[in-house]
Amino acid sequence: MKDNLRTLALKDKNKSDINVLVVAEDHQQRMAFSDTVRSCGLQLVDCVSRAQLQDKFKSYAAPIDIWLIDGDYDGDMAAASKAAAVLVGFSQAPYLNEAQQYAKWQRKLKRKLAQMLALPMLIENIPYKNTACENESSDWHYVVFLGASMGGPSAVKEFLDHLSPALPVSILLAHHFNQTMLSTLPRILNRHNEWRCQLITSSQRLRSGQCLIVPIDKQIVCDSTGRIILLDQAWEGDYKPAIGQILKNTSDVYGSELINIIFSGMGNDGTQYLDLIRDNDSQLWAQDPKLSACPSQPQAIIDSGYCQFVGSPTALAEKLTEYITERAVSVSSDSFIVSDL
């Protein structure tokens, strides 16, 4: 109980009063950790190698709230510091001059810290929250990507009918359709619910309560500011739009704030990059093949071994509501968190 109170006590501190100690052997990793800690507004006590830590530990006057450690660590030393949390391990940081890759790595670390320490204030300034645009809706926190093909319209319609547009989500739908029928899809999906469904015909921003439908004849790219950028080039490969390509892009950008759901359809589009989606901590769910008009696409997702939930369209909507609600109220229950981040 005392240890749990230590973690909860961090929520009552100003960010600048939360002291972090970084321990890493690699110089590049130490620089990246230090940069991330400072960009979060936290107080960096020191950034040292393991050998340096042995010599300097007793000289630290400030209490250490969080240990961020890359590699092995001395559990007794960490416990002696009475820290609220110890986070162990993280992927190797790209070099600071690799701007796009480094930004992605840093966002992932910030989200992990915020989630595990119950400190949402650490990610309040992440660009994709869309806070920079006063005239745009900025209350979305999750992106829900829907992939569908044959038999998809009725499944997606049922899903939307049971999902509240008041949830802090923005939906992106990629559906294998012909160009003529695609124009009828918004009217089908909008019926009997309050979701705003529309085709992407120009670059725009994600908004809560909105379902944007990906075009068949042009590619889109999502960026970290919440923009959907329409490109003047055709999709590559046999599937249009390319669900796998969009899955990879959105997972790289939105990480653990992305929920992917694959509905009824033919083929295996969407299975190409599932290991990367797992590494980005994105969710991957599928419609129950037994309840799909065409089961091969959701079945391919399930057979991959990466699928985390399977259900009817109604069950998927209920699961999404439950998932978002639980994340909104969850707090860390462990005082010492040892993770192979």
Over residues 142-154, mean pLDDT: 93
Contact 199, 174 (CB under 8 A): no
Would you say residue 130 lies in a domain?
no
Over residues 193-198, mean pLDDT: 92
Asked if residue 170 and residue 109 are part of one domain, the reply reads: no
User: How many C-beta neighbours within 10 Å does residue 69 have?
Assistant: 21
Which has more confidence, 197 or 99? 197
Over residues 64-83, mean pLDDT: 68
Is the pLDDT at 181 greater than 90, yes or no? no
pLDDT digits (tens, 9 = 90+) for 23-38: 888 877 887 888 788 8
Q: Indicate the residue among 72, 97, 125 that finishes a domain.
A: 125
Q: What pLDDT is stored for residue 4 in this prediction?
A: 52
Is the pLDDT at 154 greater than 50, yes or no? yes
Asked if residue 165 and residue 39 are part of one domain, the reply reads: no
In whole angstroms, give the CA distance from residue 316 to residue 249: 23
User: For residue 59, which phi and psi values (nearest 5 degrees)?
Assistant: -85, -10
Strand partners, 199: 213
Would you say residue 74 lies in a domain?
yes
Which has more confidence, 66 or 257? 257
Closest of 160, 169, 150, 172 to residue 266, by C-alpha: 150
Supply the CATH number for residue 116's domain.
3.40.50
Would you say residue 108 lies in a domain?
yes
Asked if residue 167 and residue 49 are part of one domain, the reply reads: no
Maximum distance among all alpha carbons in the chain?
Answer: 72
Confidence of residue 128 (pLDDT cuts 50, 70, 90): very low
Asked if residue 305 and residue 196 are part of one domain, the reply reads: yes
How far CA 294 is from CA of 5, 178, 220, in Å, comes to 51, 17, 26
Return the top range by mean pLDDT from 64-73, 137-146, 253-262, 331-340. Answer: 253-262
Instruction: Dump the DSSP string for 14-37.
Output: -GGG-EEEEEESSHHHHHHHHHHH
Contact 207, 172 (CB under 8 A): no
Asked if residue 73 and residue 166 are part of one domain, the reply reads: no
Q: What pLDDT is stored for residue 137 in this prediction?
A: 44
Contact 229, 243 (CB under 8 A): no
Asked if residue 251 and residue 171 are part of one domain, the reply reads: yes
Over residues 108-127, mean pLDDT: 70
Would you say residue 76 lies in a domain?
yes
Residue 111: give the domain boundaries.
2-125
Q: Which run of H or E residues covers position 149? A: none
Is the pLDDT at 226 greater than 70, yes or no? yes
In whole angstroms, give the CA distance from residue 239 to residue 207: 27
In whole angstroms, give the CA distance from residue 220 to residue 227: 10
User: Tokens 């985390």 sit at which residue?
Assistant: 308
Q: Are strands 196-199 and 210-213 parallel, antiparallel or unpaired?
A: parallel
Would you say residue 334 lies in a domain?
no
Mean pLDDT of the chain: 81
Contact 189, 196 (CB under 8 A): no
Over residues 118-139, mean pLDDT: 51
Asked if residue 260 and residue 172 are part of one domain, the reply reads: yes
In whole angstroms, give the CA distance from residue 191 to residue 250: 27
Would you say residue 244 lies in a domain?
yes
Closest of 131, 128, 155 to residue 258, by C-alpha: 128
Q: Indicate the residue among 75, 93, 125 that finishes a domain.
A: 125
Supply the CATH number for residue 194's domain.
3.40.50.180
Asked if residue 159 and residue 296 are part of one domain, the reply reads: yes
pTM: 0.61
Q: What pLDDT is stored for residue 339 in this prediction?
A: 47
Asked if residue 203 and residue 73 are part of one domain, the reply reads: no
Would you say residue 131 lies in a domain?
no
Is the pLDDT at 293 greater than 50, yes or no? yes
User: For residue 340, which phi and psi values (nearest 5 degrees)?
Assistant: -90, 65
Would you say residue 341 lies in a domain?
no
Asked if residue 50 and residue 90 are part of one domain, the reply reads: yes
Asked if residue 113 and residue 11 are part of one domain, the reply reads: yes
Is the pLDDT at 72 greater than 90, yes or no? no
Least confident of 51-65, 229-243, 262-276, 305-319: 51-65
User: How many C-beta neighbours within 10 Å does residue 101 have?
Assistant: 13
Contact 144, 170 (CB under 8 A): yes
User: Tokens 């109604």 sit at which residue?
Assistant: 314
What's the structural domain count of the chain?
2
Asked if residue 146 and residue 107 are part of one domain, the reply reads: no
Q: What pLDDT is stored for residue 98 in this prediction?
A: 65
In whole angstroms, give the CA distance from residue 89 to residue 179: 48
Confidence of residue 195 (pLDDT cuts 50, 70, 90): very high
Is the pLDDT at 314 greater than 80, yes or no? yes
Closest of 6, 10, 47, 13 to residue 30, by C-alpha: 47
The three-class DSSP label of residue 324 is helix
Least confident of 83-92, 253-262, 267-276: 83-92
Q: Indicate the residue among 92, 125, 158 that finishes a domain.
A: 125
